[in-house]
Amino acid sequence: MAGDGLPRIAVVGGGIFARTQYIPRLREIAHHVLLKAIWSRTKESAEAAAELARDFAPEIQPRWGDAGLEEIMGDASISAVAVVLAGQVQVDLSLKMLKAGKHVIQATMEAETALSVYNSFPNQFPYKPIWALAENYRFEPAFVESRKLISDIGDMMNIQVIVEGSMNSSNPYFNSSWRRNFVGGFILDMGVHFIAGLRMGNWWILESTILPPLSTSAATIASPLIVAEI
């Protein structure tokens, strides 16, 4: 927190999702949070992404390369980081940020071993950094409203979520190489958000997995009455 009371955050990643989703959403909540820095692998990419946010974050600082990551981790004024990178590198970088005392939000689900590493971090801060995974759907109006309605429905015996998404050459993510070389690929990258959204309705995720070789995302969920699979 600075003198204006606003928390400072950084976005690590300057790709399609950071530019088309994170920056517009941060613009909408600029009165609640200040975007202090945005990082990308190259100077050109970082500067281009920073310019997109300059209208609501005039003092935003582009950062790039290993030195830029170190600067973000060492900046005591930055309390949280959004890690918006390819799935193959998200977890390792998130763990580095968490170890540096930054709260982290990232999209793709973490591996079980990574969660063990996170839980083993020594308590060297007056708080435990929060690691939020695919949790942005908690704020989607449909999930917020469903949570309100569930209490009026009565005993829940079954729940089914069916998601249909178009993934062809017209989709800007179609040509992203990391999703094609990542276990779960497009299905994991999209489906994990909807699985996380189920937490909005008094349902708890017990276990999640990818079922190779099919492009399928599955989770075991439980309510006070029943265990089901989606």
Higher-scoring residue by pLDDT: 85, 140 = 85
Higher-scoring residue by pLDDT: 226, 129 = 129
Structure tokens given for 99: 């170890």
Asked whether the predicted pLDDT for residue 78 surpasses 90, the reply is yes
Q: Give, for 104, the enclosing helix (H) or strand (E).
A: strand 103-106
Closest CA to 49 of 34, 35, 39, 58: 39
Enumerate domains of the chain plus CATH numbers.
Answer: 8-133 (3.40.50.720), 137-229 (no CATH)
What is the identity of the amino acid at 172?
P
How far apart are the C-alpha atoms of 35 and 115, rounded to whole Å?
A: 27
Q: What is the pTM of this model?
A: 0.69
How far apart are the C-alpha atoms of 190 and 184, rounded to whole Å?
A: 10
Helices and strands (H, E) in the chain, number of each type: 9, 9
Higher-scoring residue by pLDDT: 228, 95 = 95
Supply the mean pLDDT for the chain. Answer: 77
The tens digit of pLDDT for each residue in 167-225 reads: 777 777 777 766 667 666 676 667 777 776 776 665 544 444 443 443 444 444 444 33
Structure tokens given for 218: 């599955």
How far apart are the C-alpha atoms of 40 and 45, rounded to whole Å?
A: 6
